[in-house]
Amino acid sequence: MKSIKNKIFKIIQPADNSSVLSKMFDLVIVTLILINTVTIIAATFSLSALKIRIFLIIEIVSVIIFSVEYILRLWTADLLYPEKKPFIARIKLFFSPMAIVDLLAILPFYIPFLLPIDLRILRLIRLLRLFRLFKMNRYTSGLSSIGNVLKKKSDQLVSSIFVVFLLMIISSVIMYYFENPVQPDVFSNAFSGLWWAISTFTTVGYGDIYPLTVAGKIFSAIIALLGIGLVAVPTGIISAGFMENIEDNNKQLTEDNIAKIREILEKYDSKNL
């Protein structure tokens, strides 16, 4: 049983260059994810009864495969976290971001069977099927890099976004006092100008909410200029994170290549001796 478990664990983990079965498994999962994405988009059009039936079959097959994958990942969690007890390892995996994505990808199929739900709510729940697209993160290096960068720079990103959000709140309150006497319907309370603050800080400027007073216009201009710099801060942090990630990957590749060359030289020397 343990040897079977080890084999399954190696297959369901992202493939390395030596594992054919793991590559085949990854290919099947990625193909299913892409097919499901196409069917979700196609479902927004008017379809014939035959196409609806085909899409339902695809949905059932996909859910079965994704469910088996999810169960196998929970079963082999103790191999992923060997330093922890099996139960603790499964709990840790269950609450991991990718495991949550896996669960959300299959949950909409089972909810109607478990709970009586209004059809309008069911349509909203079915939107969770789009989470299947995020499963690609496990099988593509590009999406994995984005996740690694966001995780590595999370503290800096949260700090910068919090500062921007705080300034938006302050700007919304100030604009309320400037514009409420002139536009009581538009700026009815301190938070009614928050949409204006977001569109101004990001320099989008939809024009649906705008100041009429001189003080409001001057303040809006200042906020727009500040927004150019402040909103660019998170972008700069992410860009720096990508550069660091590329450098780390290049360094790792160099170290791996050096290790392989040393291994080859050692084998060559041992043969000559």
| 114-151 pLDDT per residue, tens | 777 655 555 566 666 776 777 776 666 656 677 777 77
- Helix (H) / strand (E) element for 253: namely helix 232-272
How many residues does this entry show for the chain?
273
Structure tokens at 97: 């971001």
Per-residue pLDDT tens digits for 169-186: 888 889 988 998 998 888
pLDDT band at 10 (very low <50, low <70, confident <90, very high): confident
Domains within the chain, CATH numbers bracketed: 2-139 (1.20.120.350), 141-273 (1.10.287.70)
Task: Give dist(CA 171, CA 192) in Å, integer.
Answer: 11
The 10 Å Cβ neighbour count of residue 234 is 18
Angle among Cα 43, 47, 52 to the nearest 5 degrees reads: 70
Q: Read off the pLDDT of each residue in 190-203 and give the average, rounded to a whole number.
A: 83
Task: Give dist(CA 63, CA 109) in Å, integer.
Answer: 7
Torsion of CA 71, 72, 78, 79, to 10 degrees: -160
Q: Are the C-beta atoms of residues 117 and 111 closer than 8 Å to each other?
A: yes
Per-residue pLDDT tens digits for 49-66: 898 899 889 989 999 999
The answer, as to whether pTM is greater than 0.75, is no
- DSSP label of 203: T
Task: Give dist(CA 32, CA 92) in Å, integer.
Answer: 26
Residues 6+ apart with CB under 8 A from 37: 130, 132, 133
Cβ neighbourhood burial of 262 (10 Å; 0-12, 13-18, 19+): exposed
Task: Give dist(CA 41, CA 241) in Å, integer.
Answer: 33
Task: Give dist(CA 214, CA 178) in Å, integer.
Answer: 9
